[in-house]
Amino acid sequence: MTLCDLSLAEARDGLRRRDFTSTDITTDCLDAIAALNPKLNAFVTVTAERALEQAAQADRRLAAGETAPLLGVPLAIKDLFCTEGVRTTAGSRILGPFVPPYESTVTANLLRDGAVFLGKTNMDEFAMGSSNMTSAYGPVVNPWTRHGDNAQLVPGGSSGGSSAAVAARLAPGATATDTGGSIRQPASFCGIAGIKPTYGRCSRWGIVAFASSLDQAGPMGRTVRDCAIMLASMAGHDPKDSTSADIPVPDFEAACGRGVKGLRIGVPREYRSDGMSPEIEAMWQHGLAWLREQGATLVDVSLPHTKYALATYYIVAPAEASSNLARYDGVRFGLRQDGSDLQELYENTRAAGFGAEVRRRVLIGTYVLSAGYYDAYYLRAQKLRALILRDFTEAFEKVDALVTPTAPTAAFAMGEKMDDPVTMYLNDVFTVPANMAGIPGLSVPAGLDSAGLPLGLQVLGKPFDEETVFAVGAAIERAAAFATLPSLRAGVAL
Ligand code: GLN
């Protein structure tokens, strides 16, 4: 047991009690990173020196009796958040040499609250993916393995570096982003918690944009409470992002203890998809029974447009991505490949800088936005998006929250689902509807499958009602009493 085995809440409280210093816990995390990152590849950049400077500063503040919500707590930062003076790659070659001259609002908020940054975590290129296999910096290894089988598994994606780092106890918490499931699916695959808050809860300023109408930042932690603590610091109105909501940030941590007595929990029948494994179905039923035992009422609800959500997402997200990624032209940011004229410079830079999945999305996005096809694809997708939101709005007239599985499978092996992009896209079937509707969604570890891999349950809530989401998530967490260590930390060689 080292200090990096502590939960974020325990670390915060221990620092406040002066049981140990920020330098102690930061050093333990950096040692764990040095020992395990060569196996996991969870970090693209480790900022050890800077972390120790920040820790020393936090220690001076703690010694002077100062308090701040995260004073001295070490965190890992997804490499999609711009960090001033620290390379930010977005998992792409095209941003390989990019050192932002500014700090994203979310990371600035965490620094304001006293956090220490250990480094930048690996991710699918521009957050496009569900396995971390599209990173230009190599795949991330999931610290979990199946019983009796040492095949390397993916950590999920796109925030796979953050989820692997938190699960392997390299950091007590990490930032992440979720456009179609990138916080919740990797949280489920790695046996940790993660929440995508309501669209607008966290500022998007300084986060490398993928699909601006869907992107949201959120935390990953080993407990629901840890996520609540982090989100309170990350969230808040920001005049620099016109879509950030001017709504007060409630006490999320207190909400974790509220319980579910008297709550109405919706069970959407459309999430019972044909291909769902019986083990995931069983885990879902367990989760629902735990909530009923704690005083909630279960209500059958219907979200009839769920079946269109994935197709709609894979039009809207690439459309926005193709526009957002137009700025990577070799002139303003990162990589430049010269050509005989400007046009050739653009082409050479983009050909050398973007990987296959990113190119596929740019092609799809450009196609669905082109003059002849805009009405047939993009406009129809926008109409469906309104219907998906209406389904949720109607359901939330009857229930306080919804509970579903997070992902249709447990973590899969590297190389699996790689032949056909649509097979990979199916991972997002349960997570994308929340992005299309802008509502909050949390994944909480609920148990293990027969191979010993973690499975997550998803709690969806009303817009800006993360408090109920945390209350329901914490209730599932209490009943599940999920305490198994990932194989790597339980002494199994990867
Ligand atoms: N897996 C989804 C995609 O590839 C979602 C990614 C995300 O949420 N950033 O687009």
Q: In the predicted model, is pLDDT for residue 494 greater than 80?
A: no
Q: pLDDT tens digit string along 65-87?
A: 999 999 999 999 999 999 999 99
Can 158 be counted among the known catalytic residues?
yes
Neighbouring C-alpha atoms within 13 Å toward the C-beta of 226: 27
Q: Please give the residue range of the domain that contains residue 218.
A: 3-266+396-490
Tally of domains within the chain: 1
- Does ligand 1 lie within 6 Å of residue 197's CB atom? no
Q: In the predicted model, is pLDDT for residue 141 greater than 80?
A: yes
- The region that residue 236 occupies, defined by phi over 0 for left and psi between -120 and 50 for alpha, beta otherwise, is left
Q: Evaluate whether residue 290 is within a structural domain.
A: no
Q: Evaluate whether residue 341 is within a structural domain.
A: no
Q: Evaluate whether residue 271 is within a structural domain.
A: no
Q: Evaluate whether residue 342 is within a structural domain.
A: no
Can 7 be counted among the known catalytic residues?
no
- Does ligand 1 lie within 6 Å of residue 265's CB atom? no
Q: What is the CATH number of the domain that holds 408?
A: 3.90.1300.10
In this prediction, residue 484 has a pLDDT band, given cuts at 50, 70 and 90, of confident
Considering the candidates 104, 135, 182, 443, report the single residue annotated as catalytic.
Answer: 182
What does the radius of gyration of the chain's CA atoms come to, in whole angstroms?
21
- Does ligand 1 lie within 6 Å of residue 131's CB atom? no
Whole-number pLDDT of residue 491: 72
Q: Evaluate whether residue 315 is within a structural domain.
A: no
Whole-number pLDDT of residue 370: 96
- Does ligand 1 lie within 6 Å of residue 158's CB atom? yes
Q: How far is the CA of 456 from the centre of ligand 1 (A)?
A: 17
Question: Exposed e or buried b for every residue in 232-263, given b needs 16+ CB within 10 A?
Answer: bbbbbebeebeebbeeebbebbebbeeebeeb
- Does ligand 1 lie within 6 Å of residue 162's CB atom? no
Q: Evaluate whether residue 335 is within a structural domain.
A: no
- The region that residue 373 occupies, defined by phi over 0 for left and psi between -120 and 50 for alpha, beta otherwise, is alpha
Can 120 be counted among the known catalytic residues?
no
Residue with CA at minimum distance from ligand 1 atom 5: 180
Alpha helices in 235-369 (DSSP H): 252-255, 278-293, 306-324, 342-353, 356-369
Whole-number pLDDT of residue 493: 65
In this prediction, residue 1 has a pLDDT band, given cuts at 50, 70 and 90, of confident
Output the DSSP codes for 159-206. SHHHHHHHHTTS-SEEEEEESSSTTHHHHHHHT-EEEE--TTSS--TT
Q: Evaluate whether residue 348 is within a structural domain.
A: no
| pTM as predicted | 0.97
Asked if 280 contacts 455 with a C-beta cutoff of 8 angstroms, the reply is yes
Considering the candidates 92, 130, 131, 158, report the single residue annotated as catalytic.
Answer: 158
Count of beta carbons in the 10 Å neighbourhood of residue 389 = 17
Q: In the predicted model, is pLDDT for residue 445 greater than 90?
A: yes
Q: pLDDT tens digit string along 99-120?
A: 999 999 999 999 999 999 999 9
Q: Which atom of ligand 1 is nearest to the CA of 128?
A: 4
Q: Evaluate whether residue 365 is within a structural domain.
A: no
User: Looking at residues 159-176, what average pLDDT do you find?
Assistant: 98
Q: How far is the CA of 490 from the centre of ligand 1 (A)?
A: 30
Q: How far is the CA of 128 from the centre of ligand 1 (A)?
A: 5
Q: In the predicted model, is pLDDT for residue 418 greater than 90?
A: no
- Average pLDDT of the chain? 96
- Does ligand 1 lie within 6 Å of residue 211's CB atom? no
